[in-house]
Amino acid sequence: MITKYAKFIKDARLKRRFSQSDLALKLGISRPSYISIEQGKRELTMGEFEKLSSILGVSFEEVESGESPNYDKYKQMILAFLRQGGIITKTKLAKFLYFADFGWFYSHLQSMSGMQYRKIKYGPVADSYFRIIDEMFDKGEIQIENREDGAMLISQTRSGAKINLSLISKEEQKLIKNIEEKWKGKKTTEIVDFTHKQFPYLYAQENEIVSYGLFTQENPDEIY
């Protein structure tokens, strides 16, 4: 039986330029055993799942689902919101991205970026959000300013403004614009409270991945 994550693992390995022997060695299994995993003939153990997610730089849930997020597109979504709103708090920006991904799923049954979102204190947040924000800051694509009340303000730099948002369609740009316009006057705490009352957040356990499917029971007019 072909496992659903077999192709995902192979694609992730090739993207990071690992050989089959490399991953077999890192997982502590033979090369034929590893090949059986990529062929979908052998299931991963829980320990192998954890090792593989760490080696490939992806979350456990991404490996399990067999779906690869589009990190480059997610970064462009961040820049698209900053170009619409100028300066946005780090928490509010995370919520805007959640609205975009789940709002797109409502109409197309797939998210805009392919990212998985997790239930944490401040609402659903993509697993890689904080890492990607740090990467964009290190590359000089965004600027981060710490406010006296502890909030972090994010804005686009001149370098970030030069990046072409080629991965985002006109329809996706329109959704991003609608979300920003609807929520720009709201306080961050208001937006966080709103996401806490939505089905994906309510039905997930603490620190669990929230369900895209449950969002179809929400009223999309409330977010864009």
Most confident of 10-14, 35-39, 75-79: 75-79
Residue 206, pLDDT above cutoff 80: yes
pLDDT of amino acid 172: 97
pTM for the predicted model, two decimal places: 0.74
- Contact predicate 151/122, CB 8 Å: no
pLDDT of amino acid 60: 67
- Contact predicate 114/105, CB 8 Å: no
> What is the set of domains in the chain, with CATH numbers?
6-65 (1.10.260.40), 71-222 (no CATH)
Residue 221, pLDDT above cutoff 90: no
| Mean local confidence (pLDDT), 189-215 | 89
